[in-house]
């Protein structure tokens, strides 16, 4: 496990805190692997609720593109595959999952929130899902299931930043809650996670999630493996920086 992820267990509740505040908790390869190991472990040790949050000023800035100049298309494809496997593990977890988002929540970080069964954010949280700008099909079906196909097309077509109010209105968020009130909502979720026996809880989460894992992974691989991924990402980063100037 990496120091970039803080894991805290309290009975049947596991809290995973992304701990790269200097990088706005950007999802490095190590952090993705640590999150995946933690989620996989939780499926075997009696966990009934996993909480995901970020240290510092932001939940997460998304996929960590730092050092991209030293990576190949193949390196990036593998990282996106591992990211998709993480997202599937969260989405299809046999227990309750809760995202507590604040600040920036961009790209793959927004996908993590979308994968959780309960999605809470502070009033000032901002979201953006720009993957299709550089040709990556990541989490599109999951997003359409959560917020409807029409809203998903609207958000992904423009890849503009949307705020917590719109996220709540379209169903992307379950609730908007100031950070000071998070403990109460955690306590409520803790109690609710024990309402059903283990087998019943696992059935609930399995039967309320559409199983299109193979299709999602196939689409991700097909999109990521188109030659020139690194160049497309570099062009996207350059355009983003230009827009900010």
Quote helix, strand, coil % in the chain, to nearest 5.
Answer: 50, 15, 30
Q: How many domains does the chain have?
A: 1
Does the pLDDT value for residue 28 go beyond 70? yes
Whether 203 maps to a domain, the answer reads no
The H or E element that residue 115 is part of is helix 108-115
Whether 202 maps to a domain, the answer reads no
Radius of gyration for the chain, computed over Cα atoms and rounded to the nearest angstrom: 17
CA angle 228, 59, 161 (to 5 degrees): 60
Range(s) of the domain holding residue 155: 5-192
Which residues, in sequence order, are CB contacts of 49 under 8 Å at separation 6+?
12, 13, 14, 95, 96, 97, 98, 189, 190, 193
CA angle 173, 178, 184 (to 5 degrees): 90
- Report residue 244's pLDDT band, with 50, 70 and 90 as the boundaries: confident
- Report residue 241's pLDDT band, with 50, 70 and 90 as the boundaries: confident
How confident is the model over 33-48, as a mean pLDDT? 97
pLDDT of residue 242: 78
Whether 205 maps to a domain, the answer reads no
Whether 245 maps to a domain, the answer reads no
Whether 9 maps to a domain, the answer reads yes
Which residues, in sequence order, are CB contacts of 158 under 8 Å at separation 6+?
none
- Per residue in 82-124, pLDDT (tens digit) is 999 999 999 999 999 999 999 999 999 999 999 999 999 999 9
- Per residue in 189-217, pLDDT (tens digit) is 999 999 999 999 999 999 999 999 999 99
Whole-number mean pLDDT of the chain?
96
Does the pLDDT value for residue 142 go beyond 60? yes
How confident is the model over 120-132, as a mean pLDDT? 97
Does the pLDDT value for residue 2 go beyond 80? no
Per-residue exposure over 186-197, b if at least 16 CB sit within 10 Å of its own CB, e if not: beebbeebeeee
Whether 144 maps to a domain, the answer reads yes
Whether 55 maps to a domain, the answer reads yes
Reduced to 3 states, what is the DSSP secondary structure of residue 110?
Answer: helix
pLDDT of residue 1: 55
The residue written with tokens 């409520």 in the block is: 188
Q: What is the pTM of this model?
A: 0.96
For residue 122, the domain's CATH number is: 3.90.226.10
Whether 93 maps to a domain, the answer reads yes
Give the integer Cα–Cα distance in Å for 101 and 132. Answer: 23
CA atoms 134, 231, 212, 110: torsion sign: negative
């Amino acid at each position: 496990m990496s120091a970039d992820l803080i894991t805290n267990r309290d009975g049947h509740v596991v809290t995973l805190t992304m701990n790269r505040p200097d990088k706005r908790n950007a999802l490095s390869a190590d952090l993705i692997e640590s999150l995946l190991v933690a989620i996989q472990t939780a499926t075997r040790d009696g966990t009934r609720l996993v909480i995901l949050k970020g240290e510092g000023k932001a939940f997460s800035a998304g996929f960590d593109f730092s050092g991209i100049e030293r990576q190949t298309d193949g390196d990036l494809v593998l990282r996106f595959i591992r990211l998709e496997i993480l997202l599937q593990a969260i989405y299809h977890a046999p227990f309750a999952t809760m995202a507590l988002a604040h600040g920036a929540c961009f790209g793959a970080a927004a996908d993590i929130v979308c994968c959780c069964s309960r999605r809470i954010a502070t009033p000032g949280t901002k979201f953006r899902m720009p993957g299709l700008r550089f040709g990556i099909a990541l989490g599109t079906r999951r997003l359409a299931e959560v917020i409807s196909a029409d809203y998903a097309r609207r958000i992904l077509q423009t890849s503009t930043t949307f705020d917590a109010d719109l996220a709540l209105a379209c169903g992307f968020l379950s609730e908007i809650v100031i950070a000071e009130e998070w403990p109460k909502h955690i306590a409520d979720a803790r109690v609710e996670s024990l309402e059903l026996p283990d087998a019943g809880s696992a059935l609930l989460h399995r039967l309320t999630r559409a199983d299109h894992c193979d299709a999602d992974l196939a689409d991700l691989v097909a999109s990521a493996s188109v030659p020139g991924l690194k160049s497309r990402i570099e062009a996207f980063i350059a355009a983003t920086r230009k827009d900010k100037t």
